[in-house]
Amino acid sequence: MESTPFVSIILPVYNRAATLPRAVESVLIQTFDDYELIIVDDGSQDDTASVARGYLQNAKVRYIHQENAGAGAARNQGIAVARGQWVAFQDSDDEWCQEKLQAQVDLAKNSAAEVAVIYSDMVRVTQAGKRIPWLSPDVRMGVLIDADTLDYQVKNIGLQSALIRRSVLLREGKFDQHLPRFIDLDLFARLALRYRFAKVDRPLVTYYETRGISSDPEARARARIALIDKHRNFFERNARYLAHQYIRVATAYWMGGHMEEKDRYCRLALATYWRDGHVLAKAAVVNFFPRRLLPGRWCG
């Protein structure tokens, strides 16, 4: 009878033949070894398939190919076939430190049943090669928006750092494949409303910055609009928080050069809660400041 691993690791990949070995090998050298690694190839058109199949001599590695459907669909496919009690997620261009799983499994085995997510800090490597600490927030159960940042409290948790109970993923609907961005933030936000999170207070993942959907300001705007709609009941009771979401949408559209949409959401932000100084400041910037002088991530 085939044994059931404690952890299933899901690694979606699309056209990343060059970086996939770094990601896979950082999994295969883990000090904790009761796991399976599920590589889900999302219809790659480069040499990803041959690179991935090269690891199949390792009994821990499984390979699945699907037609291109996006990272959310690939991760959901991995969850559907996973056998572990807990699920971890690796990205195809990132790197785990060797004791990543062991540190999290030790915490998982000593956690109460209401703990659904165990996560950590990361190190971000910029495209210029600079290493920057990526500090994750402290998460409180039942909270959607952080009163200090005025944004989702789970923002900046790296999915690559997370270990999640598979039973919770199956119960709560897994990843929303229709979101153009923030599928990890969406999942964490939903889980934090009902479950506890536990944090390992040190970086366990090296995250390599690359260009892609995360650098697309229009995708960022559309995803924030979708998240507002998902939590409409909450935002309708919290006008200040809603105004901050609207101004972030406006800023993203502004950074992408979509001025009509920028104007619409800027007006919505001011109509919703104009008395907030941050909302007023960003409204002034998007109406009077040259976009080229600000970094692409300024809109958050």
Structure tokens given for 114:
């209401």
d(CA 279, CA 253) in angstroms, rounded, equals 15
pLDDT per position as a tens digit, 238-253: 999 999 999 999 999 9
Q: Are 154 and 188 in contact (CB under 8 A)?
A: yes
Both tokens assigned to 15: 């056209």
Domains identified in the chain and CATH numbers: 7-213 (3.90.550.10), 216-299 (no CATH)
| For residue 155, pLDDT beyond 60 | yes
Tens of pLDDT along 60-76? Answer: 999 999 999 999 999 99
Helix (H, G, I), strand (E, B) or coil at 7: strand
Residues 6 or more apart whose Cβ sits within 8 Å of residue 271: none
pLDDT bin (cut points 50, 70, 90) of residue 210 is confident
Say if residue 229's pLDDT is above 70: yes
How much is the pTM? 0.93
Integer Cα distance of 141 and 161 in angstroms: 19
Q: pLDDT tens digits for 165-187?
A: 999 999 998 999 999 999 999 99
